[in-house]
Chain A
Amino acid sequence: MKKMKKTTILTLALICLTFNLKAQKIKGSDTVLPLSQEAAEEFKKKSPSSSVSVTGGGSGVGISALMSGTTDIAQASRKIKFDEKLKIQDAGNSVKEIIIALDALSVVVHPSNKVTKLTREQLEGIFTGKITNWKEVGGEDLKIVPYSRETSSGTYEFFKESVLKNKNYKSGIMSLPATGAIIQSVSQTKGAIGYVGFAYLNTKVKSINISYDKGKTYVIPNVTNVKNKTYPIVRPLYYYYLTKNASKVKSFVDYVLSPDGQKIVTEVGYITIK
């Protein structure tokens, strides 16, 4: 089985080599996917001799593909885990990390909800199931319905880490397979609360101001606040590649970090690093 895998990989690699010496593969997070795709297309226009193929699957999928050598760049919406890094080191490689953009998570509620601000502690209480009614956080007497993403998403992990301080979500929390579904459900459920990437915000839902200092200051999620780092729920989006492949992927990574590339970042709805 293993041998077969190896031979398939080898043949695939050979095919790729013969077809196009400059072909690069990017794989991983679905959050970064639209950005990479857009960048790959623009990059191809600039240097027609090279080709970049982009696939999704999730941050974990991308990083394990990097380990097995089936991708050149792993795109991730979370930092590489220690044991993943270790596995790469055990194989005699080292990994290089590049932050390509920032993404903020907005906490959203139904537009009719009177609550406009919440502290991190209150959010933790809501998503771990300790706070169950909106009147406990200054709203009307209405049951809170928290919506979460599925466990496979990087967004789920990041929210858990940043807002819940690694505590577990309440057992039996409603979990939806996509950001679009969260927006849809929150917009049609009065007591709902959910979290979505900043880029997906629209007028069907209302975003909440967040405080990470126990209620002293509440911050609105907008581009300025994310850039000057006052908005707390921000995550970097990463590219990972093996240092031995650096020369191969350099031109593309440089392109993404260049002013042109960062313009795409804004277009796709994320926040530039500079």
Chain B
Amino acid sequence: MNPIKRISERFIEGIFKMSSMVTSIVILLIVVFLFKEGMGLFSSPIVESGYGLYLNTTNPVSDLSFTQIKQIYDGEIDNWKTVGGKDEVIELFRFDDIFSIYSDEELGENYEFLPEKLNQVITDKSNIIAFLPYKYAPKQSSFVKEISKENIGIREFLLGKEWLPTTTPSPLFGIVPLILGTLLVSFFAILFALPLGLGVAIYISEIASSKIRRIIKPAIELLAGIPSVVYGFFGLTVLVPIVQKVGNLTVGETAFTGSLILAIMALPTIISISEDALRNTPLSLREASYALGATQWQTIYKVVIPFAGSGISTAAILGIGRAIGETMAVLMVTGNGAVIPHSLFESVRTIPATIAAELGEAPSGGAHYQALFLLGCVLFLITLCFSIISEYISKKQSSKIA
């Protein structure tokens, strides 16, 4: 062989090798980055970083839980008795309130008198709870005490039932409603899409004439090319009112609407992959079936579908993967209420929608930011599980056939 040709072949080989290596490294780096950012959450304190809660020293309360803090600041708990203190009305104090009590001059040019004034306020009122930055907080030795500095726990993240990332003083990062929302929407999406998609695939590959196939197949593949935000817009303006009217519901933005939109979006994936699988059934198998006197339907049902089983399962799982990761369309039609769903006709909030909607304003490096990254990790793990399952199924199937 011509040496120049050989060198150029080596060179091309090298380029291919390089590109595959670069791709793997990039993917690995993304995963590492995701987990590194996400894990930081567990070293963030419960109370917004840089801030602490302070009480008057005469107050016997020494510890407040996550939910108690939230209920106090929401006005649901208004007496210290409820949390184990004296029978006194709770007085809320936020840092910004100091600026309405004292003028900027009184606080000094560089706020050097601020701790003193804050101390004054807290000492004066025995029933106060103050939310202050550490930097200006009165020193511990004075008449105040600081409460709850512990970190956010893994349990609270994984088992928490409330997702309220921007509440002050203590944000709640409970992902249970988000995970359940995501799984509910995706599960029903696939439940709607799989029978329909399979039906279409069987029709295209087995029943339709080649003329019809030539029209339908590109049309379906076109469906995959529509941007998801367009699906979302369609869902919001068309599907939502329909669902609301037909179901006679108070709101149309429900998990059901989300599932419908996702089902439509997952259809092209399911149809084209399962259709390929069906068409790959060898002619010899079909002919054998016909030779035994089977009808066309019997052949499809007993020979073609079992043979294409692994392809069909792959289609279903890829469809689920598409549904779980879908962001924009779901963001627009599910209403995004972060509650644990009790029925299909309630608003849900999915993980991708949460990330998309909140990352823009989450202060970089803060607890909220890290929580969103951790959500990304959770999403990654869920889709990884589905990929492993699909791999396993197709291996099992192919060994059976062989």
Please list the residues of chain A having a beta carbon within 8 angstroms of any beta carbon in chain B: 57-61, 64, 82-83, 86, 89, 128, 142-143, 145, 150-153, 166-168, 171-177, 181, 184-185, 188-192
Contacts and interface: CB of A to CB of B under 8 A. Distances in A.
Contacts of B253: 174, 185
B29 interface: no
Contact of A172 (B96, B337, B360): B337
B95 interface: yes
B360 A58 contact: yes
B251 A152 contact: no
Contacts of B133: 82-83
Contacts of A167: 73-75
Contact of A61 (B96, B331, B357, B361): B361
Interface string B320-360: 00000000000110011111000000010100000011111
Main secondary structure, interface of B, reads loop
Nearest to A156: B166
Contacts of B70: 168
Interface residues of B, number: 45
B312 to A, nearest CB: 35
A166 B349 CA distance: 23
B358 A152 contact: yes
B104 to A, nearest CB: 12
Interface string B236-273: 11001100100000111100000000000000000000
A271 B89 CA distance: 42
A150 B338 CA distance: 11
Given A152-B362, A166-B94, 11 more contacts: A58-B361, A86-B135, A151-B358, A152-B360, A167-B73, A167-B74, A171-B162, A171-B339, A176-B335, A177-B357, A181-B236
Given A82-B96, A172-B347, A174-B253, A150 B244 contact: no
| Interface-centre pick from B95, B331, B336, B364 (highest chain A CB count, 10 A) | B336
B218 interface: no
Given A83-B50, A83-B133, A174 B251 contact: yes
A70 B361 CA distance: 17
B358 A150 contact: yes
Contacts of B397: none
Contacts of B332: 176-177, 181
A167 B74 CA distance: 5
A189 B241 CA distance: 8
B352 to A, nearest CB: 12
B330 to A, nearest CB: 11
A188 B241 contact: yes
A57 B364 CA distance: 13
| Interface-centre pick from B95, B135, B236, B360 (highest chain A CB count, 10 A) | B360
Nearest to A172: B339
Nearest to B166: A151
B28 to A, nearest CB: 18
B158 interface: no
Contacts of B123: none
B257 to A, nearest CB: 11
A115 to B, nearest CB: 16
Contact of B250 (A58, A60, A143, A153): A143
A191 B250 contact: yes
A240 to B, nearest CB: 16
A173 B339 CA distance: 8
Given A83-B50, A174-B336, A174-B347, A189 B361 contact: no
Contact of A151 (B96, B236, B357): B357
